[in-house]
Chains A and B, each alone.
Chain A
Amino acid sequence: MMREGFCPPSFLMHCGWTMLRIQNLTKVYPSGTKALNDVSFEVKDGEFLVVIGLSGSGKSTLLRCINRLIEPTEGKIFWDDTDITAASPSDLLKIRRHIGMVFQQFNLVKRSSVMTNVLSGRLGYVNPWLSLLGIWSPSDRQRALKALERVGIADKAGSRADALSGGQQQRVGIARALMQEPRIVLADEPVASLDPVLSHSILQYLEQLNKEGMTVLCSLHFLDLVHRYATRVIALKDGVKVFEGLPSEIDRAKFKEIYGEEAQEVRAASFEAPA
């Protein structure tokens, strides 16, 4: 199953350990829609696991069940050996702060500054009362600036979030996730709102983080991006897991199985991604 060399050398110690175990996960919305149906898989430390599938196949629901932004109906999710689905509200907050999240629509507070948006990634760690007053320690501000530097937009710290371009906003989103010092980043269609060139630049930041040891669980639309960035792939169709394996194993027949007979592959970009 494992592609040779996907473990970053610096992280060999942990590499291959199961970080997240999803068991028989099912989600039924009050409207009766069955978004997830008995999905089970594991996420290993250090991998870049990509979830693919059509719109409405349950990718977003799956990612949101992991940090319980959406309550699963049935099934268990183990974070190391802790059952997230059974965690008390206060334990859940502590677990969440180790799980960074990046969103398709960036989910920034548009009227707030970039700095405030990034600092808010630190909320799980700081004194709640000081944070309610908007007081942040110098070390947290320093950390926020470093996070912005890592995504290359430290000069935008004082700008309003909505003054930035889409690609820059998503980089703020990544910086906000970095503030959590996460062990895993859940990325829900992080490039679906961006044009193809920007898609590569955003995914390269995630790839860089992955090479430094961060586990990434990412949902994607375009198959060429999957081939380029994923170390492993799972595919959902109507809430059911229909494939789990290496990107190279998705051939034409598998593609038709996942996306349906009518589907034609669309490439994110006609040119190769810059290395």
Chain B
Amino acid sequence: MNHNDYSRSSAPFAVILSLLLPGLGHLYLKRWYRGIAILLAAAVLSGIVVWYGRPIWYFAPAGVWLWNAWDAARLAKGKGAPILIPVLFGLAAAYGIGWHMVGVDFRSASMERAAAVIRPMLHPDMFQKRQELNRMWTPIYVPCSTTETVPAARREENGKVAFVTPDCAGVLEAAIVSVSGMWPDTDTIIWWETNIGDDKPLGGNEDRPLVVRTDENGSLATLIHVPSTVLIAQPDPTLMLEHRVYFDQYRPLGGIELSTNGGYVLKGIAESVTMALMATTLAIFLAIPISFLAARNLMGGNPITFAVYVLVRTILNFVRSIEALIIAIVFVIIVGLGPFAGVLALTIHSVAALAKLYSEVIEGIDPGPIEAIRATGGNWLQVVRYGVTPQIIPPFTAFTIYRWDINVRSSIVIGMVGGGGIGFYLIQWIQINQMGAVGAAFIAIALVVITLDYMSAKVREKLA
């Protein structure tokens, strides 16, 4: 009985076996690999679909199941069915389920929310108009004491006089605040500072600044209500304490200056760049000796040094596979919040990355010049200085600058987990919805990254 006759006669049986269990018919036909592959693929696909639990996706394993029976029938007659069909079933299930798992849902995008975030970012809080501040304040006592005498709520300074009538008031009670000797015909912002230094606006429904214009003599008087929240943090609300009412006038001086948040942006950027610089510098000193241990041409000589080489390489590969961000989270716990944690994290990651790059430079060194310098009668140090150093310094420098460039980018992200730098400010501004400052930080980060990227590319080009 030849092979073909045997196969043809057993075709229906093979189909029945394959319908019972995918691949079984193939095994019966002695197509071992195909049978096992179909069994595994059908099992994995069914497992995923059952785990995901949406009946619609059962079509994929069902399709594979049917194809497998068809394939068994065709194989029994000689040539199998196209493999593309089960592959397409598998891909359809993978992408379909994947689409749902990552929650692709464009309907969730809200233009209003996008505008609320993006619009303030388009007015980056980096600079402000220069202006002069004319400030005066007076004490006010809250609430009125029944036992103590109330001091006069009045204050004089540089010809300016401010006072409140009456001297004391309870929460939400009215009082008249007056000031004189200020700049004439100027808008004056009046606001409250509690005994513990909290600012409270006095305008609108306690949610807007109160602005009153002084008269031609520089005086004003207006009615205020003691804000509802001034006693919130007070353990004994009956105790009379001194609060303050401030009068602020602004006058443009011409020109622009850095805003408060702009100052923080600069400070953060400087911190990030410095963190990267410190980390890269520390990493150089640690990476150079390690790189010699990781260079195959130096360590391949005998079994012991080769074992050291393999060990060092393995450790480097392991450390390099851990993102600096993850290392930073650990160091924030160990040394506390701030740039130092970030520097340590960046250093660890950079050592692993630089040591590998350096070792590859050492492995690629040309022995010719070394031989030539030895032949001139140069001593060992001269051979290193004239034969080795010129070959490794330029690529070392290029890799180091590139690493610094990468570290500046990393340090920005590391700041977000408490590692200091601009990221540290950025994450706080995002949390308190100061999107103007976020916009300024974005611009500053982009400028620094682009500049460094350009400079490092130029320098590396020169060194190549």
CA distance A112 to B387 in the complex (A): 10
Q: Using CB atoms and an 8 Å cutoff, list the residues of chain A in contact with chain B.
A: 67, 69, 93-97, 99-101, 103, 105-112, 116, 120-125, 128, 131-132, 134, 173, 176, 179-180, 186
State which of A96, A108, A128 has its C-beta within 8 Å of the C-beta of B369. A108
Judging by beta carbons under 8 Å apart, are A105 and B374 in contact?
Answer: no
Total residue contacts A-B, CB cutoff 8 A: 82
Cross-chain contact A121 with B387 (CB below 8 angstroms): no
Is B376's CB under 8 angstroms from A121's CB?
yes
Minimum distance in angstroms from B95 CB to a CB of chain A: 51
Q: Which residues of A contact B166 (CB under 8 A)?
A: none
Docked Cα-Cα span, A239 to B391, in Å, equals 34
A173 → B minimal CB distance (Å): 8
- CB-based nearest A residue for B370: A107
Q: Which residues of A contact B379 (CB under 8 A)?
A: 93, 123, 128
Q: Are A112 and B382 in contact (CB under 8 A)?
A: no
Q: Which residues of B contact A99 (CB under 8 A)?
A: 375
Q: Once the chains bind, are A96 and B377 in contact (CB under 8 Å)?
A: yes
Contact B376–A180 (Cβ < 8 Å) = yes
B368 lies within 8 A of A106 (CB): yes
Which listed residue (B375, B381, B387, B391) contacts A101, Cβ 8 A?
B375
Q: With A128-B379, A128-B382 known to touch, is A123 a contact of B368 (CB < 8 Å)? A: no
In the complex where A123-B377, A132-B381 touch, is A111 in contact with B394 (Cβ < 8 A)? yes
Enumerate chain B residues within 8 angstroms of A93, measured Cβ to Cβ.
377-379
Of the candidates A103, A106, A109, A125, which one forms a contact with B390 in the assembled complex, judged by CB atoms under 8 Å apart?
A: A109
Q: How far apart are B349's CB and chain A's nearest CB, in angstroms?
A: 29
**Is B386 among interface residues, defined by CB-CB distance under 8 A?**
yes
Known: A111-B391, A132-B382, A132-B385. A103 touches B376 (CB 8 A): no
**B373 near A: Cβ within 8 Å?**
yes
A107 near B382 with CB under 8 A, answer: no
| Inter-subunit contact B368/A105 (CB<8 Å) | yes
Q: A95-B377, A96-B377, A131-B385 are known; give 17 further A-B pairs, CB within 8 A.
A: A69-B374, A93-B377, A93-B378, A101-B375, A105-B368, A108-B369, A110-B391, A120-B376, A120-B378, A121-B376, A122-B376, A123-B386, A124-B377, A128-B382, A132-B385, A173-B372, A180-B376
Residues of chain B with a CB closer than 8 A to A109's CB: 369, 386-387, 390-391
A128 is contacted by which of B371, B381, B387 (Cβ under 8 Å)? B381
Bound: A96/B371 CA distance, A: 12
A123 touching B382 by the CB < 8 A rule? yes
CB-defined interface of B379-409 with A at 8 Å, one 1/0 digit per residue?
1011001110011001000000000000000
- Decide if A120 touches B381 in the complex (CB within 8 Å): no
22 pairs from A and B in contact (CB 8 Å cutoff): A101-B372, A105-B368, A107-B368, A107-B371, A109-B369, A109-B387, A109-B391, A112-B390, A116-B386, A116-B390, A120-B373, A120-B378, A120-B386, A122-B376, A123-B386, A124-B376, A124-B378, A131-B382, A131-B385, A134-B385, A179-B376, A180-B376
Interface centre among B368, B376, B385, B394 (most CB of A within 10 A): B376
Which of B369, B382, B390, B394 counts the most A-chain CB atoms under 10 A from its CB? Answer: B369
A66 CA / B368 CA spacing, docked (Å): 17
User: Known: A105-B368, A132-B382, A132-B385. Is A111-B390 also a contact (CB below 8 A)?
Assistant: yes
Q: Are A97 and B376 in contact (CB under 8 A)?
A: yes
B426 CB, nearest partner CB in chain A, Å: 41
Q: Which among A94, A111, A173 has the highest number of chain B CB atoms within 10 Å?
A: A111
Q: Which residue of B lies closest to A131 (CB)?
A: B382
CA distance A93 to B375 in the complex (A): 8
Known A107-B368, A111-B391; judge A96-B375 contact (CB<8 A).
yes
Q: Please list the 5 inter-chain residue pairs (A to B) with the smallest Cβ-Cβ separation, ordered nearest first.
A: A124-B377, A97-B377, A107-B368, A123-B378, A96-B377
A103/B372 contact (C-beta < 8 A), A109-B390, A123-B386, A132-B385 known? yes
Chain A residues near B386 (CB, 8 Å)?
109, 112, 116, 120, 123, 131
A residues near B374, Cβ cutoff 8 Å: 69, 96
Tell me the bound Cα distance from A272 to B191 in angstroms. 103
**Structural contact, B382 and A176, CB atoms closer than 8 A:** no
Q: CA A230 – CA B246 in complex, angstroms?
A: 104
Instruction: Tell me if A176 and B377 are in contact (CB < 8 A).
Output: no
Query: Which of B371, B373, B391 sits near A123, CB closer than 8 Å?
Result: B373
B178-216 interface with A by 8 A CB criterion: none
Cβ–Cβ < 8 Å partners of A97 in chain B = 376-377
B376 partner, pick from A106, A116, A123, beta carbons under 8 A: A123
B125 → chain A closest CB, angstroms: 48
Q: For B369, what are the chain A residues with a Cβ–Cβ distance below 8 Å? A: 107-109
Least CB separation from A101: chain B residue: B375
Does A96 lie within 8 Å of B376, measured CB to CB? Answer: yes
Residues in B whose Cβ lies below 8 Å from that of A67: 375
Given contacts A109-B386, A120-B378, contact A103 B371 (CB under 8 A): yes
For the complex formed, measure the closest distance between the CB of A216 and the CB atoms of chain B, giving whole angstroms: 15
A residues less than 8 Å from B377 (CB atoms): 93-97, 123-125, 180
B390: A residues at CB distance < 8 A: 109, 111-112, 116
The smallest beta-carbon distance between B303 and chain A, in angstroms, is 15
Least CB distance, A165 to chain B, in whole angstroms: 17
Q: Which residues of B contact A121 (CB under 8 A)?
A: 376
A106: chain B residues at CB < 8 Å are 368
Q: Which residues of B contact A122 (CB under 8 A)?
A: 376
Q: Which of the residues B366, B371, B372, B387 comes within 8 Å of A176, measured between beta carbons?
A: B372
Knowing A109-B390, A128-B381, A132-B382 touch, does A69 contact B373 (C-beta < 8 A)?
A: no
A69 in complex: contacting residue of B366, B375, B394, CB < 8 Å? B375
Q: Could you say which of B377, B379, B385, B387 has the most chain A C-beta atoms within 10 Å of its C-beta?
A: B377
